[in-house]
Amino acid sequence: MTRWATCILAAGFALVAPAWGQPVDPLPRVRPESVGVSSQKLAEIAGALNREIGNKAMPGAVVAIARKGKLVYYEAFGRLDDRSATRMPKNAIFEIKSMTKPLTAVGALELFEQGRLMLNEPAATYLPQLDSMAVATPAGTEPAVRKPTIQDMLRHTAGVTYGSAEGITGTTELSRQYGQLMDRKLTADQFLAKLGSLPLQYQPGTKWAYSLGLDVTGLAEEAVTKERLGAYLQISVFAPLGMVDTSFVVPASKASRMAGPVTWDPMVQAGYDSGGAGAYSTAPDYLGWFPWRLQLGWRRWDFLLGGPKRGMDGRSDGTHIA
């Protein structure tokens, strides 16, 4: 199977300009045709993005594309934000929203390999605030056939949606209440207390709906490690993989590279570290960590997710993943 990795990070209104202060390439760069990519098609990217920037759909963007572990395209466009004349640098820091989810998932899998977080355990094993959740029905509620597990949280089958179980966010009072859980000011305790007071939006494991499951997973990681999610991932994922610009709070020393617009002040710590949407990162950081490195056997992944292969109950069968 051929493997592609594409990282496109973009932000809201502006005019195009070349980038400045560029970092070194995050991967070895090759001629696109040498890995089966069309240079002619890649050349169309700039025109498409420049049109969007000219139409004020976004201030700028950074695009990095790799195939077979080789970089074939890495360019920056436009401005850092719509209030600045600063040209977009290739190492601009973006609010990556749901691209946080794979980072949180890797942190969970590390704890799973250590036998500390079991995928088939109910999330309530680690977060007792979620122990008594019923399931919403048209007539009211009914008991859950089983409790949602960490695996359900990871794969969006737990019933803890973003308030969009009906396909449109906020169409019912329950959906509206779920939508309120995305408030970045909520502390972990407030988030869990509110979530635990609501019924699930469907029976666990019976439906897929994009969800708060990775926020719950991140808080389960905090319960196990006794650290904020950002601190745990910094030690277990970001630092080992050389992700120097990935964090849940952007330090003041890096504020000049922060791309806008943002939905939260990146230099202010949120009420809790959202494992579903709370991280900030750059194109070189994100492209450099992509999970396809695991399949390709890259050495830096071996010590993260290369221990004995386990079943969901954590028992090892003696084989290795990487």
Q: What does the alpha-carbon distance between residue 73 and residue 71 come to, in Å, rounded to a whole number?
A: 6
Q: Compute how many other C-beta atoms are within 10 angstroms of the C-beta atom of residue 248.
A: 23
Going by their DSSP bridges, the two strands 308-310 and 140-142 should be labelled as unpaired
Distances (CA, A) of 165 to 151, 169, 208, 209, 217: 19, 8, 9, 6, 20
Q: H helices within the chain, ranges in order?
A: 39-54, 100-113, 150-155, 173-180, 188-197, 213-225, 229-233, 283-289, 292-296, 299-305
**Token pair in block for residue 98:** 């749901």
What are the start and end residues of each CATH 3.40.710.10 domain in the chain? 95-322
For 78-124, the DSSP string reads EBSSTT--PBPPTT-BEE-GGGHHHHHHHHHHHHHHTTSS-TTSBGG
**Token pair in block for residue 252:** 């003041």
Burial (CB < 10 A; 0-12, 13-18, 19+), residue 208, is: exposed
Contact call for residues 225 and 126 (beta carbons, < 8 A): no
pLDDT in tens, 100-147: 999 999 999 999 999 999 999 999 999 999 999 999 998 899 999 999
pLDDT of residue 30: 95
Q: Compute how many other C-beta atoms are within 10 angstroms of the C-beta atom of residue 52.
A: 18
- CATH architecture assignment, domain 95-322: 3-Layer(aba) Sandwich (3.40)
Contact call for residues 55 and 275 (beta carbons, < 8 A): no
pLDDT of residue 293: 52
pLDDT in tens, 171-225: 688 999 999 999 999 999 999 999 999 999 999 999 999 999 999 999 999 999 9
Contact call for residues 70 and 27 (beta carbons, < 8 A): yes
Distances (CA, A) of 39 to 35, 36, 93: 11, 10, 27
Q: What does the alpha-carbon distance between residue 89 and residue 22 come to, in Å, rounded to a whole number?
A: 6
Average pLDDT over residues 302-322: 50
pLDDT of residue 14: 26
Q: Can you count the helices (H) and strands (E) in the chain?
A: 10, 9
Question: Does residue 277 or residue 242 have the better pLDDT?
Answer: 277
pLDDT of residue 298: 45
Query: What is the band of 163 on the pLDDT scale with cuts at 50, 70, 90?
Result: confident
Average pLDDT over residues 226-243: 95
Mean pLDDT lowest for which of 33-37, 90-94, 103-107, 162-166? 162-166
DSSP code of residue 161 = B
pLDDT of residue 168: 46
Phi and psi torsions of 97, nearest 5°: 50, -120
Short-list 257, 297, 271, CA closest to 60: 257
pLDDT of residue 307: 54
pLDDT in tens, 251-310: 999 999 999 999 999 999 999 999 999 999 999 999 877 654 544 444 454 556 665 544
pLDDT of residue 149: 98
Going by their DSSP bridges, the two strands 4-11 and 94-95 should be labelled as unpaired
pLDDT in tens, 14-54: 223 333 445 688 888 999 999 999 999 999 999 999 999 99
pLDDT of residue 84: 86
Q: What does the alpha-carbon distance between residue 253 and residue 247 come to, in Å, rounded to a whole number?
A: 13
Percentage of the chain surpassing pLDDT 90?
71
pLDDT of residue 151: 98
pLDDT of residue 26: 86
Contacts (Cβ under 8 Å, ≥6 apart) of 265: none
